[in-house]
Amino acid sequence: MSEAEPAAPVPPKRKQGFWLTAGEIVGVLALVIAGLNYWDSHKQHAEEARRAQAQTEAAVAFVAVGEADTEGKAVVLRPLKSVQAVQSQRYTFPNDVLDHPMDITADRPRIEASWVSGGLRRVLESVHARSAGSARLPVLIETTYVEDGETRTDVSLYQLGFSWKSEFLSGRQIRLAGIALARRNPGAGARALVEKRWASAKAALSTDVASPPAS
């Protein structure tokens, strides 16, 4: 009877649990590093694209600037960039100040105090505003202008500064103070944004806001 051949050695079993060999660990690390490099590259590309878009928009942006006359009866507007020529403007105010837009042609873009004085007086009365003060009125301005031979349109939200003072027998007198850009291209919700901004401004004007109780 021949002797039995010795049995081949049995490789040791892995212990229970998830274990990686050195080669597997290197492979996982390589995947992680590749993923991080891709993510960094993607973020950098997105940031460069965002900057390029911002520069392009800034190059063709329309911004209106203007100061009030000495009596505060009007704010005459002009483009910040002299190469832009205004063709027309439409001004949309909060509904309780003026319930319809005002349209102006290129001869003299302006906002007149007479457009909004009546509405502002009614609002100031309704919120029991103090006898004198100042605030900002949101106004949406849609501008058609020409630049480099092309006709373009800009829609932006501005803040119209105004002040008031109560005078004997004549009530509150409204004076305009100037205009400042609040937001470019507010989008489809522009009209609602005007009302929202104005609601916040009216709340700040009210003298009926209760004072905190004394401690």
What six digits make up the tokens of 95? 């509904």
Q: Phi then psi for 187, rounded to 5 degrees?
A: 85, -160
Q: Is the pLDDT of residue 212 over 50?
A: no
Between residues 207 and 63, the one the model is more confident about: 63
Q: What is the mean pLDDT of residues 132-155?
A: 95
Q: Which helix (H) or strand (E) holds 181?
A: strand 171-184
Please give the mean pLDDT across all residues of the chain. Answer: 83
Q: Any idea what the Cα angle at residue 59 is, between residues 56 and 61, rounded to 5°?
A: 100
pLDDT at 215 over 70: no
pLDDT level of residue 71 (50, 70, 90 thresholds)? very high
pLDDT at residue 197 in the model: 96
pLDDT tier for residue 139 given thresholds of 50, 70 and 90? very high
Distance CA(86)–CA(109), nearest Å, equals 8
* H runs (alpha helix) in 14-112: 22-60
Neighbours of 140 (CB within 10 A): 21
Q: What is the DSSP string of 105-163?
A: ETT--EEEHHHHHHHHHHHHHHTT--SEEEEEEEEEEEEEEEETTEEEEEEEEEEEEEE
Q: State how far Cα 200 lies from the chain centre.
A: 16
- Residue that wins the pLDDT comparison between 182 and 35: 182
Note the pLDDT tens digit of each residue in 21-62: 777 777 777 788 887 877 777 677 666 666 555 445 545 589
pLDDT at 180 over 50: yes
54: left (phi over 0), alpha (psi -120 to 50) or beta: alpha
pLDDT 10s digits, 123-138: 999 999 999 999 999 9
